[in-house]
Structures are given as structure tokens and as C-alpha cells.
Structure 1
Amino acid sequence: MKSETGLKTASDLNDKDEPIYQALMTAIVEHQLPPGSKLPEEALSEVFGVSRTGIRKVLQRLAAVQMITLTPKRGAQVATPTVEEAQDIFHTRCLLECANLADVLARCQPPHLAALEKLIRQEQQAHDAHDGAAAIRLSAAFHIQLQAISGNQVLTEMVTRLSQRSSLVVAAYGSPWKQGCRCDDHDQLLILLRERALVPLTDALRQHFDHIVASLRFERSGETLPDFARLFAGKGVE
């Protein structure tokens, strides 16, 4: 089935295509493929050991979720959000995630708190180890898991997609990843969640997004051609 945009949806991907889609998505979200990176079908076909038709289906799916752009004659590139789009992504996340906190608090149980605390510990360990990719992944996982407590699967899926696009924004306009990012914000959110303090929790989450947006530099990255063989070594289809 195709989406309303006419691009292929995840259901179009076969068993060979899905791991390639996930590998490319992970590389983009974790900033291994920065905005503007070219994604030539021939190079990806060789690395993953599949036909260009298979690669084309994967690229169409990534375009459908706005992680890459497909342009005639220029081919595929990792998407570079505009300044307005970048601001809208975080503004929308703030609206959705803050509005959902009442439902989160209504359903929150001790196992939820323990799971969030574990994510925060892992995120801090990633920062301590200067593991930027893991820190990015765990930060997004904290927000997604927090919203998932509400039981609203539609909203959680929306937050997941927006978190993926947020990673593009940070890659395009944020300072290079380094130790000492504001990961302590998540600790504060967890404290307020334990206290079941809706208004302070909402204010803290809103400020968290304000901090992120304030740190963005809104300077574009240039086009690059990554080392696909290094990035996806051993991930070819048998």
C-alpha cells in the first residue's frame, strides 16, 4: 500500500529491505549520516548487496517520513530542515508532549519510573564515555517512553517520528556533540514525575525544549558523501 503522498509505506518493504531501512534510519538519527549527505543508489546497493530497486524502495520510505529528500537529477540526500521547519518541529513536540502529561501522570506506576531512571543512567554513562550516538538514541528513548506511559499509541508514534526529525535539526544546527549537554534536565523531569506535580512538570518540559531551541545555531551543513562501506560493514543481505 502507498501513502497519501504516493510514496511507499513500511508495508511495502520485504524481509531484505527492512534491515536496510533500519540501518539507514539509525545512521541518520545518530548523526553518522549528517544532513546533506548524498545517498547514491549504486553505492548503497553495493554495500548492502541488494539491487538498486531494493535500495530505491528503502529511500522512498525514508522520504515518506521526511528523513531524506529525493530530487530529480540530484538523487537522494539526508534531509536538511529549514530554520522555520526546525522551529516548528520542536514547537510541535512541546505542544504534544506537554499536553499529554496529565494522562502520563494518571497512568504512571513504579515500573514506569524505574524504566525511565534506567534510561537516564544509561544516557549519563553514554555522555561519560563520549558516546554521542548512544546519548542521542537514549535521549530520544526517554521522551518516547515518557509519553508511552499515557497509553496513547497514536501520540507516541507521532512523538517517535518527531524525535527522529529532531535529530536532523540538532545535526544541522546544533553544536557538535560533546560531554556536558543538558542531560540533567531529564533528572529533573523524573523528580517532578515522582512528585506527581503536573504544573511544575509541564513547565520543566517546556523549558527543556526552550533550552534545546536556544542552543541551535541555524547554520547549514554542506553536502558530503559518507564512507558507506565503513558505516554499514557486515550489514549486507546474505
Structure 2
Amino acid sequence: MNSETGLKTASDLNDKDELIYQALMKAMVERQLPPGCKLPEEALSGVFGVSRTGIRKVLTRLAAVQMVVLTPKRGAQVATPSVEEAQDIFRTRELLECANLPAVLARCQSTHLAALEKLIRQEQQAHDAHDGPAAIRLSAAFHIQLQAISGNQVLTEMVTRLTQRSSLVIAAWGAPWQQGCRCDDHGELIALLRQKALAPLTEAMRQHFAHIVASLHFERGGETLPDFASLFADFGEENAR
């Protein structure tokens, strides 16, 4: 904000756009905004304290990464991956993540293993506490952090985007109790990573994705409209700091 005029600068507005983008992305990834959920510009502009034009910019960004669908006269809604798209997302993740494992093994250190083990413990605690949003977030973080060991930033960014879309797949097609990946699968991956056993590690990763896809139930649910004011109640307070 310009201290002399008291007006928000372009940088301030861009920062707020990014905060809104991240808030909506987090809510979608953690299944608080489920697939098919309508995202009315008027409601969101009121919650986030910005113009509808500002909300439209953020929704356009989310549509560009296939997290939101924009339809003329119907507005925006959280994307609902089709059956074919859902299968393709996990098939693509399997191809990328398995192909990158040699580079992961080549650079993996004890500090990397310790960080991954910490994530698994946190993920298990989230499952035990029936904290679905945290379990989903930690499950995605495990895969992203595992691939990041390779040092390939481009691939890590691709995996990050795909894990975000995976969350929509699980929200749309997973069982109501499904909360991300299976912790025991992640534990097995770390054990094989520690042994530097490439072939068994690659096969375990393939089986891991096979387990996820096998757990999906391809039956579509109905559209919902959550209480945006409650969901993003902390946004105004955090943004004012």
C-alpha cells in the first residue's frame, strides 16, 4: 500500500490475488470445495473483499490448471474429472514418478529419508484423528517431496499439479472415508528407498498407484454449495496482518 496516498498498489492487489488463489486451491485439494461445487463470483467477492473482476481473474487462473471449469451463463465450478481423465491422471503420475526414481535414488541422503518418515508419521496421525484434509495434504506432500529429491524442478512442478488434480479425482470417485494414499504403501516405499533397490522400488510405486485406482468408485455425486463465509472466515484476519 502506498503510504502517502493510502491506496493499494498493483503489487498489493497481485499479492491478494495470489492469497485468494492459494486459499481456493487449498480448499479444493483438501475436499472442502468438492468437485461440481459452484463458485459464484458474487459470494466469493464478498467473502474475500475484492471485486467480482478480481475473483474472475483468480478463477481463470484455476481454470488454466484444470482445477475449475468456466461455463458461459453458468459461471464457475470445481472441476469433476471424468472416468477416463481420472485414470489418465494416475497413469501419467505413474509414468513420471517411476521414471524419475533412478535420479531420486542417486541423490537420496539420510536427511531426505528422515523428512519423508516425518511426513508419514504426520499422515498417520491425521488418519488416526480422522482429519481428512490434513491426510490428503500430507499424502500429496510425500509424493512431491520424494520426487523433489531428484533436483528436477520441472518434473516436481508437474507432479505437484498432478497431485492437485488427483485430489479432485479422489474427492469425486473415492469412497467417503478415503483420505489420500495408504500410509503403509508410503512406508514400504521408504524402506526400499533406503535399500536403494530400484527394481522393487519401481514395482512398489506401480502397485501403489494401482491400489489407488482400484479403490475408486466411478459413481458421480451431486453438486453442493458450501458456506463460503465459514470456510474462509480466517482469510480477512490473516490478510489484515
TM-score by length of 1: 0.92
- Structure 1 CA distance for aligned equivalents of residues 152 and 62 of structure 2: 24
Structure 2 segments unaligned to the other structure (5+ residues): 1-10
Between stretches 170-179 and 213-222, larger displacement belongs to 170-179
Tell me the equivalent position of 1:6: none
In the alignment, is the contact (CA less than 8 A) between 1:127 and 1:180 conserved in 2? Answer: no
- Structure 1 CA distance for aligned equivalents of residues 163 and 177 of structure 2: 17
Tell me the equivalent position of 2:192: 192
Instruction: After TM superposition, list the pairs within 5 Å mapping 1:89-168 onto structure 2.
Output: 89-168=89-168
CA-based RMSD of the aligned residues comes to 1.5
SS in 1 for 2:42: helix
- Structure 1 CA distance for aligned equivalents of residues 62 and 182 of structure 2: 29
In the alignment, is the contact (CA less than 8 A) between 2:170 and 2:180 conserved in 1? Answer: no
Between stretches 170-179 and 15-24, larger displacement belongs to 170-179
Instruction: After TM superposition, list the pairs within 5 Å mapping 1:201-220 onto structure 2.
Output: 201-220=201-220
Structure 1 position 16, deviation (Å): 1.3
In the alignment, is the contact (CA less than 8 A) between 1:45 and 1:52 conserved in 2? Answer: yes
In the alignment, is the contact (CA less than 8 A) between 2:29 and 2:168 conserved in 1? Answer: yes
Structure 1 position 37, deviation (Å): 0.1
Compared CA separation, residues 85 and 134, structure 1 to 2 (3 A): same
- Structure 2 CA distance for aligned equivalents of residues 198 and 181 of structure 1: 21
- Structure 1 CA distance for aligned equivalents of residues 154 and 15 of structure 2: 25
Bigger Rg, structure 1 or 2? 2
TM-score by length of 2: 0.91
In the alignment, is the contact (CA less than 8 A) between 1:130 and 1:178 conserved in 2? Answer: no
- Structure 2 CA distance for aligned equivalents of residues 177 and 150 of structure 1: 33
SS in 1 for 2:80: coil
Structure 1 position 36, deviation (Å): 0.2
Instruction: After TM superposition, list the pairs within 5 Å mapping 1:1-238 onto structure 2.
Output: 14-177=14-177, 182-236=182-236, 237-238=239-240
Compared CA separation, residues 180 and 168, structure 1 to 2 (3 A): closer
In the alignment, is the contact (CA less than 8 A) between 1:80 and 1:172 conserved in 2? Answer: yes
Compared CA separation, residues 138 and 180, structure 1 to 2 (3 A): closer
Structure 1 position 179, deviation (Å): 7.7
In the alignment, is the contact (CA less than 8 A) between 2:69 and 2:77 conserved in 1? Answer: yes
Structure 1 position 15, deviation (Å): 1.1
CA deviation profile, 1:165-187 (whole Å, cap 9, x unmatched): 00000000000135897221000
In the alignment, is the contact (CA less than 8 A) between 1:116 and 1:142 conserved in 2? Answer: yes
In the alignment, is the contact (CA less than 8 A) between 1:174 and 1:215 conserved in 2? Answer: yes
In the alignment, is the contact (CA less than 8 A) between 1:63 and 1:69 conserved in 2? Answer: yes
The structure 1 segments of at least 4 consecutive aligned residues displaced by more than 3 Å after TM superposition are 178-181
Compared CA separation, residues 209 and 180, structure 1 to 2 (3 A): closer
SS in 1 for 2:56: helix
> Aligned AA for 1:57?
K
- Structure 2 CA distance for aligned equivalents of residues 137 and 100 of structure 1: 22
Query: May I ask how many residue pairs the two structures share in their alignment?
Result: 227
- Structure 1 CA distance for aligned equivalents of residues 203 and 174 of structure 2: 23
> Aligned AA for 1:73?
K
SS in 2 for 1:16: helix
> Aligned AA for 1:55?
I
SS in 1 for 2:226: coil
Q: Percent identity?
A: 83
SS in 2 for 1:230: helix
